[in-house]
Amino acid sequence: MNILYGVLILLGLGVLLAVGIVLFSKIFYVKEDPRIDDVAKMLPGINCGACGKAGCRDLAEGLVKGEIKKVSQCKAGKKDKNYDPIIEYLSNHPDEDGTTHIPTI
């Protein structure tokens, strides 16, 4: 009988914590710009850090926000494979307010 109490207490605790995790994930949800992931996928993805950023996703975020003006900051990238597709993508996908941050090579 004591084992049953232990199992019920652990089950209740598990359900309580699961509900807490779901609530916190809803409350503290951070909406991210989906263009960051799209641009990150167009970069080489080797996260070498040669661009001076923490990784490809960090550079993608800078490009999308217009903080980085040259796609060639990615030293491992190639013009046809990486730079041109990113420039074209950002030309066709402006910010929510309509401004475009189009980097150069």
What's the half-sphere exposure (Cβ side, CA atoms, 13 Å) at 64? 21
Instruction: For the CB of residue 39, give the shortest distance to ligand SF4 in the complex, in Å.
Output: 10
User: By CB under 6 A, is residue 53 in contact with ligand SF4?
Assistant: yes
Of 105, 64, 52, 58, the residue nearest 81 (C-alpha)? 105
Reading phi first (left if > 0) and then psi (alpha if -120 to 50, else beta), residue 28 is in alpha
Instruction: For the CB of residue 23, give the shortest distance to ligand SF4 in the complex, in Å.
Output: 36
Specify the stretch interacting with ligand SF4 by CB under 6 A; choose among 14-22, 25-33, 48-56, 61-69.
48-56
Binding footprint of ligand SF4 on the chain (CB under 6 A) = 43-44, 46-51, 53, 55-56, 59, 74-77
